[in-house]
Structure 1
Amino acid sequence: MTVTGPITADPVSCDEFGYGLGHPDGILVLRYRSVTRLAFGENRQDFLHQLYWSPDGLLSARHGGHTTFVGPDEVFWVHRAVTHEVHAADRQSVYRICLREVPPALAGLRAGVAAIDAEAARLVLALTDRGYDERDAPEARSRIMAGLDPRSHPADDRQAGGPGVAVAVATALAHDPGDSTGLAEWAERLHVSVKTLQRDFAREFGMSYSQWRTRLRLRASLALLETRPVGEVARRIGYASPSAFISAFAREYGYTPGRAAAMRRTADTPVPSSRPGPGSARS
């Protein structure tokens, strides 16, 4: 079985792992690895529903006029035949999970972000092991489908001082790195003090809120630069001016965004990533 849709990255590898193909309870996992960027084309006529997941970086996903960013604990869900774009940064792995059936929790959702729990993520990786016992695939598929949950923005009614406030902010910002909400406003929304929120960021991520947001924005820019002009990328990820974005990008990576995009297009030299991730088909 093949799944349509161009991959516009070079060099790129794609391994296919199919179990029970042709049956309603079958599953096909495509694993893509690239030195440069990955881009999944917009005009789709797929007969399968799809989930896009990357364990080692952000995905930029576009449906209609809205672009969102998908983190490693999330997937981008697309109902079959729905037009969309998905982009990944350099040195990133992307798993494309193809299903004939809609996961119950995602019924009625044409395209959007869903959380994927740790066990479901583990099973996706297991299905791409060369020695995986295909007799276990139906149970793994069921567990993966059960491990998905539509992702909403963090609630504003968390108990004061409760755990996970930094994670709640990080989740919202991962979907929209250009969000200009300040630390004090986040703290007010989540009913905690600014100091508590700062402490939670240090505990969860080992850095301050501003450092984490800067790294997120620059990582998000890597998934956009080849297909969008620098000025638009700067605006989308929250910089007040292209010059501010260029300065921050150059400090982090040692290249300007324009040079990074040019190097990706020619594929002469991959853009260094601040968080390089891990890079046999079965039918």
Structure 2
Amino acid sequence: MVRRIVRLALLKIALISLRGHPVPPIGHEGNDPESCEEYGYGLGAPDGILVLKYRSAGGLTMGEGRQDFLHQLYWSPDGVLALLHGSSTLFAGPGEAFWVKRAVSHDVHAGDRQTLYRICLRETPPALKGLRAGPATIDVEAGRLIEAISRRGCDEQTALAARPRILTGLRAVPAPPSARSASAGPASPDVRGTGFALTVARALSHDPADPTRLDEWAERLRVSVKTLQRDFLREFGMPYTQWRTRLRLQAARVLLDSHPVTKVAHQVGYASPSAFITAFAKEYGQTPGDYVSRPAPARTPPTTVRR
């Protein structure tokens, strides 16, 4: 169903220029969205923009495929996204989006009760010209503008004026510190953050299965373990190990509706399915199987169990 909606939208791009308008909600079926709203401005022109706004009850799967006519940006303001590209599975957390160039096969997944924006463009953002498919940072103003032009009543002139600012608000993700960086010169934290914890957090949000220990991160960043631990407490209000566990479980929830538990456990960094099930139940008070078995509309979103 998702692919049918996108094909119809692309047909409109080829034929006409539309003002923003919503498509009536569609029924939820499998991993399809509860609703999909379409907002198109200046379609057919190189500087046009099409935004598809999805809302999900259960997990949302965009469907594996390739778009040969348009570049696509996927962004969710309220959850984690997973991008399957080739043999890789990448994740995007807060303040990030996924960029996919046209003619690149990919599959995007969102978790339950998320809003997902799919922005279709004919122009590549200046900072992403070298990126085929992968995570990109998105600044606060770009996110605000995407939400603003995805509402009923937004006029075409306003939306097209917002489009250049949205594109300049996208940046390539900085490369994570590597083992070699321990002797590569002075260390510096992520330029977008206030500390070293954010640098580690961004790297792990792309690959929750990364087994790097806290002391190894500290060595790569050339800071003490205590300094990095304090930075995690200051930035996230919890120790590194607790933060990493929550990240892994949030990433797992994005994949559980469309992948078996064993595969999800491996993709988010657990050595065995039993270890993953134990961690999930400890955090949310229910097993992954119990969580997935409930119908999406009646599913209670897992909440962290107070201990």
Please give the TM-score of this superposition, normalised by the length of structure 2.
Answer: 0.82
State the alpha-carbon separation in 2 of the partners of residues 55 and 274 from structure 1.
19
Kept in 2: contact 1:91–1:273 (CA 8 A): no
State the alpha-carbon separation in 1 of the partners of residues 102 and 298 from structure 2.
36
* Structure 2 unaligned residues grouped into runs of 5+: 1-7, 12-28
1:1-283 to structure 2, matched below 5 A, reads 2-3=9-10, 9-10=31-32, 12-155=34-177, 156=181, 157-159=186-188, 163-263=194-294, 266-267=295-296, 269-274=298-303
State the alpha-carbon separation in 1 of the partners of residues 158 and 36 from structure 2.
23
State the alpha-carbon separation in 2 of the partners of residues 119 and 170 from structure 1.
22
* Structure 1 unaligned residues grouped into runs of 5+: 276-283
Kept in 1: contact 2:58–2:297 (CA 8 A): no
Range with bigger deviation, 116-125 or 37-46: 37-46
Give the CA RMSD over aligned residues. 2.1
Q: CA deviation at 1:60?
A: 0.7
Higher helix share: 2
Kept in 2: contact 1:123–1:140 (CA 8 A): yes
Residues 219 and 153 from structure 1, CA distance in 2 versus in 1: closer, same or farther, beyond 3 angstroms?
A: same
Cα deviation 1:220-275 (Å, max 9, x = unaligned): 00111122221221111111221111011112222211222222xx4363251449
Which amino acid is 1:2 matched to?
A
Residues 11 and 49 from structure 1, CA distance in 2 versus in 1: closer, same or farther, beyond 3 angstroms?
A: closer
State the alpha-carbon separation in 2 of the partners of residues 42 and 150 from structure 1.
24
Q: CA deviation at 1:32?
A: 0.6
Which structure has more relative contact order (CA 8 Å, sep 6+)? It is 1
State the alpha-carbon separation in 1 of the partners of residues 48 and 268 from structure 2.
38
State the alpha-carbon separation in 1 of the partners of residues 56 and 48 from structure 2.
27
Residues 154 and 164 from structure 1, CA distance in 2 versus in 1: closer, same or farther, beyond 3 angstroms?
A: farther
Q: CA deviation at 1:3?
A: 3.8
> Identity over the aligned pairs, expressed in percent?
60
Please give the TM-score of this superposition, normalised by the length of structure 1.
Answer: 0.89
State the alpha-carbon separation in 1 of the partners of residues 252 and 10 from structure 2.
28
Q: Secondary structure at the match of 2:74?
A: strand
Q: Secondary structure at the match of 2:119?
A: strand
Range with bigger deviation, 100-109 or 167-176: 100-109
Structure having the higher Rg: 2
Query: For this pair of structures, how many residues does the alignment match?
Result: 270
State the alpha-carbon separation in 2 of the partners of residues 47 and 10 from structure 1.
23
Q: Secondary structure at the match of 1:90?
A: coil
Range with bigger deviation, 183-192 or 123-132: 123-132
Q: CA deviation at 1:92?
A: 0.8
Cα deviation 1:114-136 (Å, max 9, x = unaligned): 11111111111111132333212
Displaced runs of 4+ in structure 1, greater than 4 A?
A: none
Q: Secondary structure at the match of 1:2?
A: helix
Kept in 2: contact 1:30–1:95 (CA 8 A): yes
State the alpha-carbon separation in 2 of the partners of residues 133 and 88 from structure 1.
29
Cα deviation 1:166-185 (Å, max 9, x = unaligned): 00000000000011101111
Q: Secondary structure at the match of 1:167?
A: helix
Match of 2:4 in 1: none
Kept in 1: contact 2:31–2:257 (CA 8 A): no
